[in-house]
Structure 1
Amino acid sequence: MQLLDKNTWGTEKKLFVTGVIILSFFAVVALLAPIIAPHDPYERVGIPFSSPGGNHLLGTNDLGQDIFSELVFGSRVSITLGILTAAIAVSIGCIVGILAGYFRGKGEELLMRFTDLILVIPFLPLIIVVAAYLGAGFFNLIIVMGLVTWPATARVIRSQVIKVSQKEYIIALQALGASTPYILRKHIIWEILPFLVYRFMLTASYAILIEASLSFLGLGTPLSKSWGTILYYAQVRNAILTDAWLWWIIPPGLCIALLSVSFLLLGFYVEARINPRLGR
């Protein structure tokens, strides 16, 4: 692997550290949510549309619920959703990519044509249709996003598996009679692992943005306190027409952006390490 030059490596390291700090901050908030949040996010604890101050750091919504508490507990939903969605998408993409890239033949053609079919369908409309069909629900939303975000991972993994399987030591192992499970487990998986990490980070970032979009459209999980749901209720209850948008819309919007960016920064770091030409 060609090393990055000193200046590029310094930049990549700063981006990596920034991503780790942001993600760690939200992870700590999510873990300590019951301690950090001053109120129960589902309870009415103040006057509706109260401005920030006093016992309500970010004011209250139209029901008198504490927005800061909603924001704190929303970190749990968004992080969990991003990680689980990425795990499903990367797992499916990895399996399809390995099957298509290592075994080749007609099976590869069928798998890749199916992958291409999903890729050419408009992304967000497909998710909206499937989400509307399965119905609202936290795990339904995760499954839907996982099932429609794996094709990009499959294409990346397939190309890398083809590249690795053509290396001399892999051909030598095949000639010596090494079993396919052994080659995949001991060599192929380890070679493509950095690409799986990279795709995991990017998919988690996209999942957080998709959940916010679906929740804003009313296709999320209305009973949960995700950041997207907070934006949805702010929109349908006319927060934009009052000063409440300053503390009801901006904070969750910033949290969504920061958490998504943290995953992207980590993904870009991994990508730069496995492909130094991108750094230059």
Structure 2
Amino acid sequence: MTAGAAAHPTPRRLARQRRRRAAVRFWRRYRAHRAGPAGLAVLALFALVALTAPLTVGSDVTGVTDAPGRPLQSPSGEFPLGTDRFGRDVLGLVVWGSRVSLLVGLLAAVLSVTIGAVVGITAGHFRGAYATVAMRVTDWFLVMPTLVLAIALATVMSRSLGTVILAIGVTTWPTTARLVRAQTLAVEARPYVERARALGGGHGHVMARHVLPNVMPLVLAQTTLMVSAAVLAETTLAFLGLGDPTVVSWGGLLQDAREAGAVSAGHWWYLVPPGVAVAAVALAFTLCGRAVESALDPRLGVAR
């Protein structure tokens, strides 16, 4: 490398340096929130448990015909969290169920935020009749009970994980759309966007090169927050018997416990573990989302 090249770095190198500095600033601000790293550690633990489930408990833990224990056996050395009504190890079921619950929560949140971001950006950019119609549809979804809409969709469609993901995703996007539209209006009022239009930048150029990078921090924070809501929604649908009956999830375990009369019989080990797992994951995602939202606040200049 010559001395002239070192004195005048290329635009690509300058962009990499800016991204590195932005990442360092983000992590410094994220660590400033004590709850953020704690939530991240909990999520990392659950992700490790879910990814290693085939090695630690194996897929045969969900089998009913060759269950290793007696039905509703209390916790013991062989079964630390007892057994369910079929004699299956509850600990193994909770570990295996983390794969389904986390996957559905993540995919549903991504679908919800994607729909909301597309509607918000386009409504904030095009304005006019399209924005009016889009926002009225958004308002209609906002005033309707989300859980009721999700239950209605899950009822009329086939019982599968895809149905649960779709039901959650298409009913929880309006909040994201409202937030993204407000941020889009603020971004498009800035002088550099007006200059881009004056230089011949079209709609796609303005939305992709100027609006989207500035709303991405908000989208990322909203995605993190939405995962906890999606996990809770999946658990609720499965608890109501609207999930996929062929897979094991935390909500499905709660439904099985209810059908087995675990509450009235006092079989706490059947109810508490999946309930605690759902609460811990929802809390961890909420803590991470709040920390990300604060660290990526556009008003701090990180998103530029």
Tell whether the structures are fold-level matches, with TM greater than 0.5.
yes
In structure 1, which of residues 41, 49, 61 is the aligned counterpart of residue 62 of structure 2?
41
Equivalences for 1:24-173 in 2 at 5 Å? 24-37=44-57, 40-43=61-64, 44-173=67-196
Code of the residue aligned with 2:284 in structure 1: it is S
SS for the counterpart of 1:249 is helix
1:273 aligns with 2:263: no
- The count of corresponding residues between Structure 1 and Structure 2 is 269
Q: Residue 41 of structure 1 contacts residue 67 of structure 1 at CA under 8 Å; is this kept in 2?
A: no
Q: Matched residues in 2 for 1:228 and 1:124: separation?
A: 15
**1:11: Cα distance to partner?**
7.9
Q: Matched residues in 2 for 1:48 and 1:90: separation?
A: 42
**1:243: Cα distance to partner?**
3.1
Task: Between 38-47 and 122-131, report the one with greater CA deviation.
Answer: 38-47
Could you say which residue in structure 2 is the equivalent of 1:263? 285
Task: Between 178-187 and 123-132, report the one with greater CA deviation.
Answer: 178-187
User: Under a length normalisation based on structure 2, what TM-score does the superposition of the two structures give?
Assistant: 0.84
1:126 to 1:12, Cα distance in 2 relative to 1, 3 A: farther
- Per-residue CA shift, 1:16-39, capped at 9, x if unaligned? 101110110010000000222276
User: Under a length normalisation based on structure 1, what TM-score does the superposition of the two structures give?
Assistant: 0.91
- Per-residue CA shift, 1:58-92, capped at 9, x if unaligned? 11011101111100011101110111001111111
Which runs of 5 or more structure 2 residues have no equivalent in the other structure? 1-28, 300-304
Q: Matched residues in 1 for 2:115 and 2:172: separation?
A: 9
Q: Matched residues in 2 for 1:10 and 1:64: separation?
A: 44
Could you say which residue in structure 2 is the equivalent of 1:3? none
Rg larger for: 2
Could you say which residue in structure 1 is the equivalent of 2:33? 13
* Root-mean-square deviation (Å): 1.8
Aligned-residue identity in percent: 36
Q: Residue 160 of structure 1 contacts residue 192 of structure 1 at CA under 8 Å; is this kept in 2?
A: yes
Q: Matched residues in 1 for 2:76 and 2:55: separation?
A: 19
In structure 2, which of residues 232, 252, 258 is the aligned counterpart of residue 229 of structure 1?
252
Could you say which residue in structure 2 is the equivalent of 1:192? 215
Q: Residue 93 of structure 1 contacts residue 150 of structure 1 at CA under 8 Å; is this kept in 2?
A: yes
Runs of at least 4 residues of structure 1 off by over 6 A? none
